[in-house]
Chains A and B, each alone.
Chain A
Amino acid sequence: MHRVVPTKERYEKRAYRRLLLILYFYSLLSVSCDKGEKMPYELLVKLGQKKDKIIFIIGKSDAVYNGWRSCEVDPNEERWKALYRMLSGAKDVELIICLPQSSKRSIESLPYDTLEVSKIKEPDNDIFLVSKDNKIVLEFRGVLDMSLLRQIYEIVGVESIS
């Protein structure tokens, strides 16, 4: 019986196919994790607290970003919690998304109304940008007080909260 000895070229092709297959399954797995995974709130809080610079984004529920729903950092913990509570009743608002500063992207290009906060663990210097219909409609620097929470609520969630 004739036995085909794999040449170097064939060997590389096979390895390449295997690599593609692994990548394909890995991407399938990661996509399904993003869509299905509901990360517990407390875990997100912990994750948020580990980062020095955080961006928060609020988006609509059909546009979940990274599967993350909420996070918060000190020292504004109670305020982030209040924002989370205030918007958690919204039917089509998927809550706050937390990303490291390096993942920052233009909120005006996102396909939903967003809140982006550049957070440097100094509440007086937090920068808030809220976009609606691809335009920034609120820009604010300072502490997330009730007055600002109300503005965010009106822009992002007022129509959908029962």
Chain B
Amino acid sequence: MIKKKVLLLPILILVFLAFNLLLEAELKKVLSIGSNQPDYLFMTVTGVVLDEEGNIYVADAGGSFIRKYNPEGVFIKEVGRYGQGPGEFSNSIGPLLYDGQKLYLKDDLNYRIAVLDKELNIENYIKLKGLRASLAKIDNLFYQISTKPGEPFPQVEIYNLKGDFVSSFFDERPDFFKGRTFSKKDYPAWVMFSRIVMAADRAAEEIAVTFTNPGDKIEIFFYTKEGKFKNKIEMDHLIKYKFSEFRLQFPPKYPKKSDQIIVWSIHYMGSGKILLDYWIVRYELEKAVDEKHYLLVVDRKSGRLLHQELVSNDLKVIGVKDGMLFGAEIAEDIPKVVLYKLDY
């Protein structure tokens, strides 16, 4: 009996250490671009993508431009200026997509998607129907988030490459709204707490959707590229969290202390993993007094938490591809585009 215990102990220690190592792996910064020089100066970075050669494309809403850098981060080209005409962008551009051939830059306030080649020549524009959030693409279909007409609930709309509406999907509700009756008086609160984020996996031809303000658990819903429901995974929060009732009242009545969980974005990492950009915000009265920013890596099939990492609040996660995380952060008061290796 004692022998068994003695044998079991090192195994338990090893398992414990391995688990801790898994959770304590750190992001490794591989590239940082940004300085006060005009070619490297950024304002509000909203899009970062890499092509097969490792060239980096950056969209900046603040400066109304898109730039290309070589894999070492050396400036190659910039196009765009503020305006509504050809070659011009509004000050609300992004996200930026790359499908292996073309770049697609969503320009909200000009209601269009600019299609560019890898030399940043604008080839054509795709007209958008009104203001929509987010942008994803699989094959010949675009995906955008909108609110259902007359309802506070979001949906995902599918458009073809000409910008024509094809169909829409997503009928889920956050847990804390289930069993409640919607009243028009609380419309803004319902819109706010029904918000969703999405990600597309071109290889699996799949769309993942999750709520920005999850309730007691995080739920991720998966759909085919045509908008057909596939399955759902669930997971507990990093910290056990109970949705605060006060936030459902409008105008809100703030208790002295409360927490809010925000899933800011969702990304396919490849190899059956999904990354969540996850925030815990602590409020005292109506003021945010503490913010914690985590990256959560979850298993696509089981929803099991594979890794959690506390990262800088200055890091804005923009995209994930081939084990790399693209983001924007401010270091020494200078905005930078950063590339991290996701070595999980």
Which of B41, B64, B82 lies in contact with A85, CB distance below 8 A? B41
Complex Cα spacing A89 to B82, Å: 25
Asked whether B91 lies within 8 Å of A82 as measured between CB atoms, the reply is no
Contact for B64 among A89, A146, A153, CB less than 8 A? A146
Assuming the A-B contacts A145-B81, A146-B78, are A89 and B65 also in contact, with contact meaning beta carbons closer than 8 angstroms in the complex? no
In the assembled complex, A127 has its CB within 8 A of some CB on chain B: no
In the bound assembly, the distance between CA atoms of A153 and B37 in angstroms comes to 9
Give Cα A141 to B38, complex, Å: 21
Decide: A145 and B38 in contact? CB cutoff 8 A. Answer: no
Which one of A142, A150, A153 lies within 8 Å of B82 (CB-CB)?
Answer: A142
Q: Is the CB of B43 within 8 A of A82?
A: yes
When distances are taken between beta carbons in the complex, the residues of chain A under 8 Å from B171 are: none
Contacts of A81 in B (CB 8 A): 43
Cβ contact within 8 Å between A82 and B334: no
Residues in B whose Cβ lies below 8 Å from that of A79: 43, 62-63
Within 8 A of B (CB), among A62-108: 78-79, 81-82, 85-86, 88-89
Which residues of B (73-87) have their CB < 8 Å from a CB of A? 78, 80-83
Question: Of A88, A89, A149, A161, which is within 8 A of B63 by CB?
Answer: A149
Could you say which residues of chain A place their CB within 8 Å of the CB of B78? 146
B36 and A146 contacting across the interface, CB-CB below 8 Å = no
List B295-344 residues whose CB lies under 8 Å from chain A: 333-334
**Does B168 interact with chain A (Cβ within 8 Å)?**
no
- Contact residues on A (Cβ < 8 Å of other chain), bracket: 10 to 19
**Interface of chain B residues 1 through 46 with chain A (CB within 8 A):** 36-38, 41-44
Q: Is the CB of B91 within 8 A of A85?
A: no
Name the residue in B38, B78, B91 with the highest tally of chain A Cβ atoms < 10 Å from its Cβ. B38
A109 in the interface (beta carbon within 8 A): no
Q: Are B333 and A146 in contact (CB under 8 A)?
A: no
A70 to chain B, nearest CB (A): 13
Q: Tell yes or no: A7 within 8 A of B by CB.
A: no
User: How near does chain A come to B79, taking the closest CB pair, in angstroms?
Assistant: 10
Q: Chain A interface (Cβ within 8 Å of chain B)? A: 78-79, 81-82, 85-86, 88-89, 123, 142-143, 145-150, 153, 161
Closest 5 CB pairs of A and B: A146-B63, A145-B82, A147-B81, A78-B62, A143-B82
Point out residues on B near A: beta carbons under 8 Å: 36-38, 41-44, 60, 62-65, 78, 80-83, 91, 333-334
